[in-house]
Amino acid sequence: MVRDWTAVMPVKRLGAAKSRLRGAVPPARHGDLALAMVLDTVSAVLAAPAVGELLVVTDDPVAAAAVSALGARVAPDRPDAGLNEAMRHGADEVAGLGRPRAVLAGDLPALRPEQLDAALTAARSGRAYVADAAGTGTVLLAVGPGRPLDPRFGPGSAAAHAASGAVPLTGGWPGLRQDVDTPADLATVLGLGAGRHTCELLRELGIEAACVPAA
């Protein structure tokens, strides 16, 4: 398989990330949980055979250093104008229009490389998206060479992407579809099998019994 996809992942400053998830772990470790989920997502993306490069768009120095250590390329969020502008900047300006690009959420700690690979294979025909487990949000938006990304992330983004002409991808891919916004989402991820970084953090906090390490 040709490793020709550039994956793009925006990462907020850890102190401001995942506000609806607060309370899942002690307040002092909330940023650590956000980072652990990012690192598990990064690890899975970099292990996907179709991905040639992962570009993380962030202004958080701790996140930048951690994802760089795993092999991701880091770009600052120069627009500093929200999620969609960070994605557009990374995919269209930093990565460029010359190769296929896919933006995805950074809170997919149960993502498996083969699931991402299957989604990217299905997306090769044009601009496509993967809805989240609830069916209303978006966890991945992919676009082929020569086309702008045109992201529509935010409330109701699945419908917004469909209205913009993106094709919905219908594979099961539970780890790809299950992002983590709330404590209930985290419990679902643990049932699917979270990645090493999330598991190690939860184990440290005494939540080992609920965590099933990713295969």
Contact present, 24 and 186 (Cβ < 8 Å): yes
**Residue 173 backbone class (left: φ over 0; alpha: ψ -120 to 50; beta: rest):** left
Output the CA–CA distances (angstroms, integers) from residue 73 to 13, 61, 77, 108, 125, in the order listed.
17, 13, 13, 19, 26
- Does 41 appear as a known binding residue? no
Contact present, 191 and 37 (Cβ < 8 Å): no
Instruction: State both tokens at 205.
Output: 């906090």
Q: Side chain identity at 94, as an amino acid letter?
A: V
Q: How far apart are CA 165 and CA 71, in angstroms?
A: 33
* Cβ neighbours of residue 82 closer than 8 Å, sequence gap 6 or more: none
Q: How far apart are CA 120 and CA 124, in angstroms?
A: 6
- Does 154 appear as a known binding residue? yes
- Does 138 appear as a known binding residue? yes
Contact present, 158 and 131 (Cβ < 8 Å): yes
Residues in the chain: 215
Q: Is the dihedral of CA 84, 89, 95, 100 positive or negative?
A: positive
In the annotated binding site, the residues are 138, 154, 157
In the annotated binding site for phosphoenolpyruvate, the residues are 138, 154, 157
